Amino acid sequence: MKYRHTKQIALLVAVILAAVASRFSGSINPYYLQVILFIGINVTLATSLNLINGYTGQFSLGHAGFMAIGAYASAYLSTEKSAGIFQALGGANAFSIALIFALVLLGGGIAAALAGLIVGVPSLRLKGDYLAIVTLGFGEIIRVLIQNTDAVGGPRGYSGIAGYTTLFWTYAVAALTIYVVLSMVDSTYGRGFLTVRDDEVAAESVGINTTRYKVTAFVLGAFFAGVAGGLYAHTTTYINPSGFDFQLSIQIVIMVILGGMGSTAGVAFAAVLLTLLLEYLRFVAGYEWLPDLVRRIASNRMIIFSLVLIALMLLRPQGLFGALPRMAGGRKTPKSQPGPTIATP
Amino acid sequence: MALLLELKQCTVQFGGLTAVSKFDLQVDENDLCGLIGPNGAGKTTIFNIITGVYRPTSGSITFEGKPIAGLKPNAIAGRGIARTFQNIRLFPTLTVFDNVRAAFNLRLKHRLAHALLRIPAFYREENDVARQVRELLDIFDLNRFAHLRCGNLSYGDQRRMEIVRALATKPELLLLDEPAAGMNPREKEQLMELIKFVKKKYEIAVLLVEHDMKVVMGICERIAVLDYGIKIAEGSPHEVRANPKVIEAYLGQETPAPAL
């Protein structure tokens, strides 16, 4: 097996491309620009969730919660705590903004990673549906806590966040997330995540510390969700706790399932596709020549989402890019047929 | 021969049920020891306490002189005890190559940070692991399946795969839980050859649980017989076969035919 530096080169190229594209962002229609930013943020969210749900097989429904923590933490840091750094660097210039935004995103990611650690611990004892419910509850707790924290605006939301997010930051983070997930999984160490998904008992029997892998998956997944939250907050410049409800978690899960659990390329593709679909539905809802019923369905995204998901489960249960043959009819276990030969060496 | 594994007065209780009672067992280095007994005698439970799946209610287990009772299964695998399962447990979505590669996780020097940074040391170690996996697959004639998903292998090959994966952890002691289950007579012959080969090539001790008397009697140097969680006999295949208690456990007591 040969190892080349393809992944690092791809990461570098992606970051440079993002930087170049960022130069021209001024000439893009602001609405389109925002959609493009949302696409990048959703790619980050979906690929990071894919590490937890797809590769490690832990069904988490709490990604919106991690994102909310990252969004609020970074918004708070950049709004309240950055004045001193700006002063030290001689006011707001390109360099000081870049430095502060990097730190702020990191802060949001770390805050979310800590939350991931806290949620990772119960996940050690819970499986499947039970874990899904716990993570769902966790996400809601975060939302309610924020709603009742006056320092960040409570139910009124947090406004006046600087619009630091650019094409560069969004796509550099998306590229980094994809790089981290892919390079990790493609290693002897990273194969451990897949063994946890496949068979925990067998994984333990060959010396894999499943506990550590699960917590690592949660912490890393949450970290990138937190960074994505920071990007989101500095895109919209206004965040509201109700924006991070469990519908958002479900949306991210749908991206993962649509793309194919455990396929980073598929999940990133699905994130792009679904973000575009959601935006396009806004226009569909506004087309007056369409029948009223169609427009109403279009204006309610969840109906479309559900339909997409049902169609997918019927037609391609392993997801668009997924290669797992076992999601449809349960695990594919070979029947105990007598094998042809057991060759002795 | 030096003592490798020692179980002393091990008892396992599940609520009111005593699955294993005051069980003693010694396995020496390079030993090939069999554990037999009727269904529900507690054989797999003994495997499970050795490998850390259960903790014995009382008694001690030492491996290479150090106590291992209560350690987690992955830690016990790290000490040098590998096992296979009664119902095959491979990683079905991973390839044959990756199934074996995963078992090298235990001995990795470089972990998360190296996988992310991909420094030269990372590639060196990965190449080293890949080479060892290939070697192992070659020895067991599985290399031609290296990039097949494990779930697609035949039953016999899957059984063999499980043994190969266990060997990849570089154990001192290999526990085989009913390796011959579901095999036809020819496959059983080949399995016996395989076990003998593994033991000789890797100089490890093997402890196996098996129902098939032909297999057990054919390869084991020493056999312990379990009935209702109690060890009723231990000795060479010949001794065990002649032991009246064993005959009773398997065939029942001789009683006069009931009058019609």
How would residue A337 be classed by pLDDT, with cut points 50, 70 and 90? very low
Supply the pLDDT for residue A193.
95
Supply the pLDDT for residue A340.
38
Phi, psi angles (nearest 5°) of residue B58: -150, 165
CA B160 to chain centre: 12
- Estimate the share of chain A in helix, then strand, then coil, as percent rounded to the nearest 5: 75, 0, 25
CB contact, 8 Å: B160 with chain A?
A: yes
Q: Find which of A209, A213, A342 to mutate to test the B interface (most B CBs within 10 Å of its CB).
A: A342
What b/e readout covers A172-181, taking b as 16+ CB neighbours within 10 angstroms? bbbbbbbbbb
Average pLDDT along chain B: 90
The distance of B11 to chain A (nearest Cα, Å) reads: 22
The answer to whether the Cβ–Cβ distance between B82 and A195 falls below 8 Å is: no
pLDDT(A344) > 70: no
- Is there a contact between A177 and A67 (Cβ–Cβ < 8 Å)? no
Residues 164-193 of chain A whose Cβ lies under 8 A from any Cβ of chain B: 180, 183-184, 187-192
Supply the pLDDT for residue A52.
94
User: Tens digits of per-residue pLDDT, A68-115?
Assistant: 999 999 999 999 888 888 888 877 788 889 999 999 999 999 999 999
Separation of first and last alpha carbons in chain A: 24
How would residue A28 be classed by pLDDT, with cut points 50, 70 and 90? confident
How would residue A323 be classed by pLDDT, with cut points 50, 70 and 90? low
- Is there a contact between B61 and B49 (Cβ–Cβ < 8 Å)? yes
**B101 interaction partners in chain A (CB closer than 8 Å):** 188, 191
Structure-model confidence comparison of residues A122 and A219, the more confident one? A219
Quick one: average pLDDT of A43-72?
95
As annotated, the residues of chain B forming the CATH 3.40.50.300 domain(s) are 3-80+171-251
CB contact, 8 Å: B141 with chain A?
A: yes
Supply the pLDDT for residue A324.
53
Indicate the residue of B93, B103, B116 with minimum beta-carbon distance to A207. Answer: B103
CB contact, 8 Å: A215 with chain B?
A: no
Quick one: average pLDDT of A267-295?
88
**AA identity, residue A23:** R
Supply the pLDDT for residue B45.
92
Separation CA A101–CA A104 (nearest Å): 5
User: Tens digits of per-residue pLDDT, A157-175?
Assistant: 999 999 999 999 999 999 9
Q: Can you spell out the DSSP letters for B82-115? A: EE--SS----TTSBHHHHHHHGGGGG-S--HHHH
Supply the pLDDT for residue B260.
62
Q: What is the ipTM of this complex?
A: 0.89
Of the listed ranges A12-16, A227-231, A234-238, the least confidently predicted one is A12-16
Closest C-alpha among A275, A280, A281, A283 to residue A258: A275
Q: Which two three-digit tokens encode residue B118?
A: 């991909």
CATH 2.60.40.1930 given to domain B3-80+171-251: no
Tally Cβ neighbours within 10 Å of residue B59: 18
Q: Can you spell out the DSSP letters for A216-284? A: HHHHHHHHHHHHHHHHHHHHHSEE-GGGGSHHHHHHHHHHHHHH-TT-HHHHHHHHHHHHHHHHHHHHH
Average pLDDT along chain A: 87
